[in-house]
Amino acid sequence: MDISVWVLLITFVVLLFINVPISICIGMATLLTMLFTIDGGPAITTIAQRMAGGIESFALLAIPFFILSGMLMGQGGIARRLINFAKVMIGMLPGGLAYVNIVSCALFGAISGSAVAATSAIGGFMIPVMNKEGYDKDFNAAVTVASSTSGLLIPPSNILIVYSLASGGVSIAALFIAGYLPGILLALSLMAVCGIWAKRKGYPVGERTSLGDSLRIALDAIPSLFLIVLIIGGIVGGIFTPTEASAIAVLYALILSVFIYREVSLKQLPDILVKSAITTAIVMFLIGTSSAMSWILSYENIPQSISAGLLELSSNPIVILLTINLILLAVGIFMDMTPAVLIFTPIFLPVASELGMSPLHFGIMMVLNLCIGLCTPPVGSVLFVGASIAKTSITQLIRPLLPMYLAMFIVLMLVAYIPALSEALPRLFGLY
């Protein structure tokens, strides 16, 4: 390999090892590599141009809007209503609170578009309740951590928007619809694990809710659930674009939280706006530095070299696809989803295309793969949030998470090798 590639790898790994924030790791590694590749002045200018160009996209405008709508929903009482709705549906089953946790995380993650938000909002309520009912607290946290990732596949999802940018323009609407079946399958697989665990541990059966209370709870949750119908229905129906849908999501969440549920006051709005602006700045800086690294990798012909190496590794598409997934699983352990998607999509998408995989199918597989990394040490953000809420350690969470990792991996393999799981719905709606 060229010396500039070694500079990139060594700088990135060293900075990551000493706990430098991932965006700084990527930016510094890219800058030093450019200094080896290009003269000093042009190198600094080039990285600035590439970072600015990386976030200069109309589609990315959806991200700050979805972040803001997620913040409004997180404080607007929506999580509690979704939990109550899930209890009505499946809370009476053995180990029912675990199922309620999974369904609530999937619904809230889908509405907010954030796994961390789902873990915080649902976990903050469900983990103490499950503790009181006799469930093991490490198991409770593990359920929340694993199930919150399903919301990244069920739209709206910020990471699918990022993949659309990295892949060169795969339809965001098609990606949104494509995520439904894998996201639901992931939630069902985790419910199967919880069912077995609950039977072995003898967890209690939930109380049945009366018909009158069930109707009242369902009616109370309908305005929250309608956001999914509004956003996805509008996109699929061609009424508005995903970016326009994100702005509508903010307006709807504002009306719902402030005027209908009345759980967010007007005095709280400036604080919510500041928090969402800070989160947006972090995400956009990460996208900018990742875009610059993607450019320098392309400049050094790294994607082409890796593609050629993988295609020479074996003539069997099954083996190559498994290799790609194993590499992405390793990447997800050490890297956040956004930079991983931006950096590795240009590397592995050409290989996947050579194998006959569509960019849509590859995108859903990649996002599902990297979702597992959110639940794994040493940098899994969702894992740390879940452990903090449950007041437990990472090491104690690993044991109950192991069967959930296995379930997620099985779903990953199904999605990887059965294209219809990703492509059937977009084709049905004429989006792909």
Contact between 332 and 340 (Cβ < 8 Å): yes
> What is the rounded CA–CA span in Å between residue 337 and residue 149?
11
Domain count, the chain: 2
Which pLDDT score, from 0 to 100, does residue 8 have? 83
Average pLDDT of the segment spanning 288-293 = 88
Same domain, 297 and 157: yes
Which pLDDT score, from 0 to 100, does residue 337 have? 87
Return the residue matching tokens 């965006």: 23
Same domain, 272 and 400: yes
Q: What SS3 class is residue 205?
A: strand
Structure tokens that stand for 26 in this block: 């990527």
If you average pLDDT over each of 44-48, 70-74, 307-311, 392-396, which comes out highest? 392-396
pLDDT for residue 410 is more than 70: yes
Q: pLDDT category, 91, cuts 50, 70, 90?
A: low
Same domain, 5 and 85: no
Average pLDDT of the segment spanning 172-200 = 90
Same domain, 30 and 84: no
Which pLDDT score, from 0 to 100, does residue 40 have? 53
- Give the pLDDT confidence of 366-400 residue by residue, as tens digits: 999 999 988 888 777 788 888 888 888 888 888 88
Same domain, 38 and 68: no
Same domain, 256 and 161: yes
pLDDT for residue 291 is more than 70: yes
Q: Which residue has the higher pLDDT, 166 or 75?
A: 166
Q: pLDDT category, 300, cuts 50, 70, 90?
A: confident
Report field, pTM of the whole predicted structure over 0.85: yes
Q: Which residue has the higher pLDDT, 209 or 341?
A: 341
Cα dist. 379→165, 174, 204, 293, 374 in Å? 24, 30, 34, 20, 8
Indicate the residue among 9, 34, 54 that finishes a domain: 54
Cross-strand bridge partners of residue 270: none
Q: Which residue has the higher pLDDT, 367 or 315?
A: 367
Computed from CA positions of residues 114, 285, 386, 399, in that sequence, does the dihedral angle turn out positive or negative? positive
Cross-strand bridge partners of residue 205: 94
Which pLDDT score, from 0 to 100, does residue 271 have? 92
Q: Which residue has the higher pLDDT, 2 or 50?
A: 50
Which pLDDT score, from 0 to 100, does residue 324 have? 92
Q: pLDDT category, 16, cuts 50, 70, 90?
A: confident
pLDDT for residue 42 is more than 80: no
Same domain, 202 and 290: yes
What one-character DSSP code corresponds to residue 256? I
Same domain, 60 and 100: yes
Average pLDDT of the segment spanning 277-281 = 88
Same domain, 184 and 257: yes
* C-alpha closest to that of 403 among 176, 199, 100, 156: 199
> What is the rounded CA–CA span in Å between residue 215 and residue 226?
16
pLDDT for residue 358 is more than 70: yes
Q: pLDDT category, 249, cuts 50, 70, 90?
A: confident
Same domain, 64 and 47: no
Which pLDDT score, from 0 to 100, does residue 264 have? 86
Contact between 183 and 151 (Cβ < 8 Å): yes
Q: Which residue has the higher pLDDT, 186 or 83?
A: 186
Average pLDDT of the segment spanning 174-190 = 93
Same domain, 291 and 407: yes
Q: Give me the percent of the chain exceeding a pLDDT of 70.
A: 97
Same domain, 38 and 67: no
Q: What is the mean pLDDT of the chain?
A: 85
The separation between CA 347 and the C-alpha centre of its own chain, rounded to angstroms, equals 20
Q: pLDDT category, 408, cuts 50, 70, 90?
A: very high
pLDDT for residue 405 is more than 90: yes
- Domain extent, residue 106, equals 55-428
Which pLDDT score, from 0 to 100, does residue 39 have? 57
